[in-house]
């Protein structure tokens, strides 16, 4: 593809450093999806702020952590993707019960380090294969734990490259949903835990074992596709609708966990999206419940 409309709009420094036309299949756990026009891997928070300052406001921006909750359509993303994983990697203890974490740190690393520090409950983060940034954007959670239960402050960057610190009161946080000021992204957070002096790695191992028993770990997926509707379980409804194993192209509803959609190797984003819509329509027509996707779907169709 040579139509990269934004190419000549970057400052010379960043024009030389960005990658162009990068397949998002390489940056998402579904391993599907089209190219990003511009792909930028910052060195640190100051670097990403400088990038945002010189990026014309007309260019759309998508921040990506580990792409474990993201479907980029096959036509790709007409704008700039910013990858936090690999940069924004600080993780430090700043008081007896408080830690500072940058957005690109994998959740599993936070869980392991908190165990070493004797802090908890952070074990729930161990099985979430994303970054803190993604967990803040999604209010990721598992086994009763939830990211925002631990947020004391967040550091954000706006579209003009301005950094500021915000409090939880600036956000409307719900189950797998976080609404805050528009056009801001998370650089990091201060998280508050309790002292759990006796805790050790067994707590994490047990949770990961339980996960392996019930979820198709290792297969290409984005975890649960739909949020659980109030008082019900998306997986239960999809299973009852007889959809386990239902296949479109190379994507199918997992036999092991009905709320997972698996890419068997060659699924397109269109296969996956068509399957999402099929599941949604089938469950709605049988049970009058409209399942809402938890995964974020972005970009242009092919």
Alpha-carbon distances, residue 199 vs 20, 99, 128, 141 (angstroms): 46, 17, 19, 20
67 is an interface residue for ligand FAD by CB under 6 A: yes
Identify the residue among 40, 148, 171, 185 touching ligand FAD (CB under 6 A). 185
Q: Which of 146, 126, 133, 135 has the alpha carbon at shortest distance from 193?
A: 146
- 135 is a contact residue toward ligand FAD (CB under 6 A): yes
Q: Active-site residue numbers?
A: 176, 224, 294
Q: Taking CB under 6 A as the rule, does residue 145 contact ligand FAD?
A: no
How many residues are present in the chain? 302
Report how far residue 283's alpha carbon sits from residue 115's, in angstroms, rounded to the nearest whole number: 40
Q: Give me the least distance between CB of 25 and ligand FAD, in Å please.
A: 13
Min dist CB 228 to ligand FAD, Å, is 11
Contact between 263 and ligand FAD per CB under 6 A:
no
Binding ligand FAD (rule: CB under 6 A), the pick from 89, 118, 141, 168 is 141
Our finding on whether 66 is near ligand FAD (CB under 6 A) is yes
In this chain, which of 130, 145, 293, 299 binds ligand FAD, going by CB under 6 A?
130
Q: Is 76 in the site for ligand FAD (CB under 6 A)?
A: no
Is 131 an interacting residue with respect to ligand FAD (CB under 6 A)?
yes
Collapsed DSSP state (helix, strand, coil) of residue 42: coil
Question: How many whole angstroms separate alpha carbon 50 and alpha carbon 198?
Answer: 44
Contact between 204 and ligand FAD by CB under 6 A: the answer reads no
Nearer to ligand FAD, 47 or 284 (CB): 47
Q: What would the x/- binding string for ligand FAD be over residues 103 to 122, using CB under 6 A?
A: x-------------------
Query: Counting beta carbons within 10 angstroms of the beta carbon of residue 256, is it exposed (0 to 12), middle (13 to 18) or buried (19 or more)?
Result: middle
Q: Indicate the residue among 67 and 299 with the shorter CB distance to ligand FAD.
A: 67
Nearer to ligand FAD among residue 15 and residue 113 (C-beta): 113
Phi, psi of 248 (to 5 degrees): -130, 120
Those residues whose C-beta lies under 8 Å from the C-beta of residue 302, and which sit 6 or more positions away, are 34, 73, 74, 75, 268, 270
Give the whole-angstrom CA distance, residue 112 versus residue 103: 16
CA–CA gap between residue 132 and residue 103 (Å, rounded): 5
Residues that bind ligand FAD (CB under 6 A): 29, 62-70, 84, 103, 127-131, 133-135, 137-138, 140-142, 185-186, 217, 221-223, 296
């Amino acid at each position: 593809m040579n139509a990269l409309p934004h190419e000549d709009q970057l400052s010379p420094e960043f024009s030389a450093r960005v990658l162009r036309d990068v397949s998002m299949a390489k940056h998402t756990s579904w391993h599907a999806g089209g190219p990003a026009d511009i792909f930028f891997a910052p060195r640190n928070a100051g670097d990403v702020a400088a990038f945002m300052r010189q990026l014309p406001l007309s260019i759309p921006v998508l921040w990506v952590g580990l792409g474990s909750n993201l479907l980029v359509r096959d036509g790709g993303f007409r704008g700039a993707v910013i990858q936090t994983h690999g940069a924004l990697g600080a993780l430090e203890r700043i008081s007896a019960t408080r830690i500072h974490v940058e957005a690109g740190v994998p959740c599993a690393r936070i869980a392991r380090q908190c165990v070493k520090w004797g802090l908890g409950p952070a074990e729930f983060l161990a099985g979430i294969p994303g970054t803190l940034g993604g967990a803040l954007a999604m209010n990721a959670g598992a086994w009763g734990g939830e990211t925002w239960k631990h947020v004391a402050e967040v550091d954000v960057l706006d579209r003009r490259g301005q950094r500021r610190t915000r409090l939880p009161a600036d956000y409307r946080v719900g189950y797998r949903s976080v609404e805050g000021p528009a056009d801001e992204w998370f650089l990091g957070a201060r998280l508050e835990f309790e002292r759990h002096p006796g805790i050790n790695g067994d707590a994490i191992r047990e949770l990961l074992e339980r996960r392996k028993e019930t979820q198709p770990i290792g297969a290409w997926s984005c975890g649960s596709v739909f949020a659980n509707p109030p008082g019900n379980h998306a997986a239960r409804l999809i299973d009852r609708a007889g959809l386990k194993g239902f296949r479109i192209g190379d994507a199918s509803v997992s036999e092991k966990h009905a709320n997972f959609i698996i890419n068997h190797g060659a699924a397109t984003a269109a296969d996956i999206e068509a399957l999402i819509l099929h599941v949604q329509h089938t469950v709605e027509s049988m049970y009058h419940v409209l399942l809402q996707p938890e995964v974020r779907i972005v970009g242009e169709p092919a």
